[in-house]
Amino acid sequence: MPGYDPQNIFAKILRGELPCHKVYENDKVLAFLDIMPRAPGHTLVLPKAPARNLLDIAPDDLAAVMHASQTIAKAAMSVFHADGITIQQFNEGAGGQVVFHLHVHVIPRKAGVAMKPPASEKERPDVLSDQALKLAAALTRV
């Protein structure tokens, strides 16, 4: 497996070199909205540590990412009036990974509504800003 590339796009977001629609942050984790959501509220949860994917992340960083994913999933259920949550996490190109900094997809789902295909449509920035504010506000209450 190749090593961690510090020039990947999520590393740049973590360093503040590129913007994101942040929903949550603690000392080990950053979470922000996917710019090409597969459903409204599609959130990405990342370790701050430089891990390429599940195959090289330290167990305590993985635990922090999964803990935050659970917290965000619970908040997203009410904010997005969801009926369920899909969790996805891809490893290496063969596993469907496109950006090589580990991230967990938290995707709110409505009964009977299919997810959009991956990376099919960019959401409007004002829509993402509004959703991020609502989800971040709900996360301060959990």
User: 59-79 vs 125-139: helix axis angle to the nearest 10?
Assistant: 100
- Site residues for ligand AMP, 23-42, by CB under 6 A, read 34-36
Output b/e per residue, 46-74; b: 16+ Cβ within 10 A: bbbbbbbbbeebeeebbebbeebbebbbe
The whole-angstrom separation of Cα 78 and Cα 49 is 30
Q: Does the protein bind ligand AMP through residue 80 (CB under 6 A)? A: no
The whole-angstrom separation of Cα 65 and Cα 70 is 9
CB of residue 103 vs ligand AMP: minimum separation in angstroms? 6
Cα 130 to chain centroid, rounded: 16
Q: Does the protein bind ligand AMP through residue 127 (CB under 6 A)? A: no
Q: Does the protein bind ligand AMP through residue 125 (CB under 6 A)? A: no
CB of residue 117 vs ligand AMP: minimum separation in angstroms? 10
The whole-angstrom separation of Cα 68 and Cα 24 is 8
When the beta carbons of 20 and 45 are compared against ligand AMP, the nearer one is 20
Alpha-carbon radius of gyration of the chain: 14
Of 90, 131, 132, 135, the one binding ligand AMP by CB under 6 A: 90
CB of residue 99 vs ligand AMP: minimum separation in angstroms? 4
Q: Which of 21, 42, 101, 103 is catalytic?
A: 103
Catalytic residue check, 103: yes
When the beta carbons of 84 and 118 are compared against ligand AMP, the nearer one is 118
The contact set with ligand AMP (CB under 6 A) reads 9, 20, 34-36, 44, 90, 96-99, 103, 118-119
Report the catalytic residues: 103
